[in-house]
C-alpha cells in the first residue's frame, strides 16, 4: 500500500515540471551574478594578511588605510577588492566590541537582579551563551556557504520549496474523491488507518526526496561556482563577512557554532518545517476533497504571516502570529540571529525551541484530525 501511494505521488508529471523550473531558476539566478573567483594567488595573499579573528591592531590598520582611500591617497599596489576586506574587518571589530559591551551589560544587570527572578535567569542564560562564543569575529572566506544560506533563508526560496510540497501533496486525498475512488477504497479492509498511514508515509518520502534534491542541486551549483566550500569551520558570526560583503546578520548571534554546524542545524529545522507543513496540506486535501482548494488554503496559511508583516500589522496578537508561523519555521532566518527567549513556566526557553515544540504539538493535533476525519467519513458513508 505504501509503495502504491508513493507511485501515485511520484508519477505525477507536474512535480517534475515544477522541479525543472525551480532548478532552471536556481541556475539562471547564479549565472546572472558575475563570478567571484576567490582562490587565486592574489586572494591568497589577502587571506594570509587579513584572515582569521580580528584584532585591535588589524582594526587600526584598516581604518587608517580606509581614511587614506577616502582622501584619495590609496596606494598603487592596493588589491581591487581590498577595500571590501577593510570594511569586513572594521565591521567584524564593531561586532566584537558590541558583543563585549553586551556581556558587560548583562553582568551589571545580573548584579542588580534577584537570582531567583525570571529576569536574572534570562540574563544569565544569554551571558552563558555569549561566553561560549569566544573569538568569533574576523575575516574568513565563506563565499560558497553564503550562497548555500541564500537558498535556505530568503522568502522566495521558501516559496519554491512550498510550491513543490503543495503540488505534490494537495491531490493525495482529494484525487480519490475527484476520481470517485473514495467509496471503493473505504470499503476495503485497509480503508481505515492503514490507508491514512500509507499516505502519510508516502508524503514524508516525497518531502524528503524533493528537500534532498533541491539542496543537492544548490550545493553542486556553489561547489562548481566557487571551486569548493572552504571556510566550513569559520564561526557563524563571520558568515557574511567576506571579500564581497561585510554586513553579517549573525554578527551578534549567541550560538557558538561554526558554519558547517550552523548549516546542519538550519537544514534540520527547515526539513522539520517542511514535514509539518506537508501534514497540514494532507489534512486540507482530506477535508476539502479538492486539490485546488487544498492548495489555496494551505498556501494562504503559509503566506499570511508574511503578508501581515509586510503590511506593518504586527501589533498585539499579530506579532505572535507572525513569529510562530509555518513561514518562520521553514525560513529559519530569524531563529538564530539574536538571543530571544520566552517564559515557559518560569524558565527562559529559546525561540527556536519554543517554535519547534509548538509545531510538533500542532502537528500531532492535525494528524489526529486527519485520522478522525477519515474514520468519520467512512462511518458517514
Grid coordinates representing 222? 556553489
Is 25 within 8 Å of 214 (Cβ atoms)?
Answer: no
Contact status, residue 38 vs residue 146, Cβ threshold 8 Å: no
Spatial separation of the C-alpha atoms in residues 283 and 376, rounded to whole Å: 14
Q: What is the pLDDT of residue 77?
A: 52
Residues of the chain with pLDDT under 50: 37, 39, 184, 241-246, 379-381
Q: Which residues contact 59 (CB under 8 A, 6 or more apart)?
A: 89, 90, 93
Amino acid 139: pLDDT: 85
Q: What is the model's pLDDT at position 46?
A: 75
Are 251 and 338 in contact by the 8 Å Cβ rule? The answer is no
Query: According to the model, what pLDDT value does residue 244 have?
Result: 45
Bridge partner residues of 344 (DSSP):
347
| Cβ-contact 144, 228 below 8 angstroms | yes
Identify the pLDDT of residue 136.
87
CA neighbours closer than 13 Å in the CB half-sphere of residue 49: 16
Q: Using N-to-C axis directions, what is the helix angle for 259-288 and 193-226, rounded to 10°?
A: 140
Transcribe 264-275 into DSSP letters: HHHHHHHHHHHH
Please report, for residues 11, 168, 177, 272, 300, the alpha-carbon distance to residue 174 in angstroms, rounded to integers and kept in the order given: 16, 12, 5, 24, 18
Neighbours of 231 (CB within 10 A): 22
Amino acid at each position: 500500500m505504501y509503495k502504491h501511494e508513493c507511485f501515485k505521488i511520484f508519477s505525477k508529471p507536474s512535480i517534475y515540471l515544477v522541479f525543472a523550473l525551480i532548478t532552471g531558476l536556481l541556475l539562471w539566478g547564479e549565472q546572472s551574478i558575475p563570478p567571484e573567483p576567490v582562490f587565486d594567488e592574489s586572494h591568497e595573499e589577502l587571506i594570509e594578511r587579513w584572515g582569521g579573528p580580528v584584532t585591535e591592531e588589524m582594526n587600526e590598520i584598516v581604518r587608517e588605510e580606509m581614511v587614506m582611500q577616502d582622501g584619495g591617497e590609496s596606494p598603487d599596489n592596493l588589491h581591487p577588492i581590498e577595500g571590501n576586506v577593510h570594511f569586513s574587518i572594521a565591521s567584524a571589530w564593531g561586532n566584537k566590541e558590541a558583543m563585549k559591551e553586551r556581556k558587560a551589560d548583562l553582568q551589571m544587570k545580573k548584579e542588580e537582579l534577584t537570582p531567583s527572578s525570571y529576569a536574572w535567569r534570562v540574563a544569565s542564560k544569554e551571558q552563558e551563551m555569549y561566553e561560549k562564543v569566544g573569538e568569533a569575529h574576523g575575516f574568513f572566506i565563506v563565499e560558497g556557504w553564503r550562497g548555500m544560506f541564500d537558498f535556505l533563508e530568503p522568502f522566495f526560496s521558501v516559496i519554491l520549496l512550498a510550491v513543490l510540497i503543495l503540488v505534490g501533496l494537495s491531490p493525495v486525498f482529494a484525487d480519490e474523491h475527484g476520481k470517485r475512488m473514495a467509496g471503493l477504497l473505504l470499503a476495503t479492509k485497509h480503508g481505515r488507518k492503514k490507508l491514512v498511514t500509507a499516505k502519510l508515509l508516502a508524503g514524508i518520502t516525497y518531502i524528503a526526496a524533493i528537500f534532498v534534491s533541491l539542496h543537492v542541486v544548490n550545493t553542486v551549483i556553489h561547489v562548481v561556482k566557487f571551486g569548493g566550500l572552504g571556510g566550513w569551520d569559520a564561526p557563524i558570526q563571520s558568515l557574511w563577512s567576506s571579500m564581497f560583503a561585510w554586513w553579517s546578520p549573525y554578527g551578534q548571534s549567541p550560538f557558538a557554532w561554526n558554519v558547517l554546524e550552523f548549516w546542519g542545524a538550519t537544514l534540520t529545522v527547515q526539513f522539520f518545517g517542511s514535514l509539518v507543513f506537508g501534514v497540514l496540506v494532507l489534512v486540507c486535501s482530506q477535508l476539502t476533497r479538492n486539490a485546488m482548494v487544498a492548495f489555496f488554503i494551505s498556501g494562504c496559511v503559509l503566506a499570511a504571516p508574511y503578508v501581515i508583516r509586510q503590511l506593518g500589522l504586527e501589533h498585539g496578537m499579530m506579532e505572535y502570529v507572525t513569529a510562530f508561523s509555518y513561514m518562520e519555521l521553514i525560513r529559519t532566518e530569524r531563529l538564530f540571529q539574536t538571543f530571544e527567549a520566552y517564559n515557559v513556566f518560569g524558565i527562559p526557553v529559546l525561540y527556536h525551541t519554543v517554535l519547534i515544540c509548538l509545531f510538533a504539538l500542532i502537528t500531532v493535533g492535525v494528524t489526529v484530525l486527519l485520522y478522525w476525519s477519515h474514520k468519520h467519513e467512512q462511518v458517514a458513508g
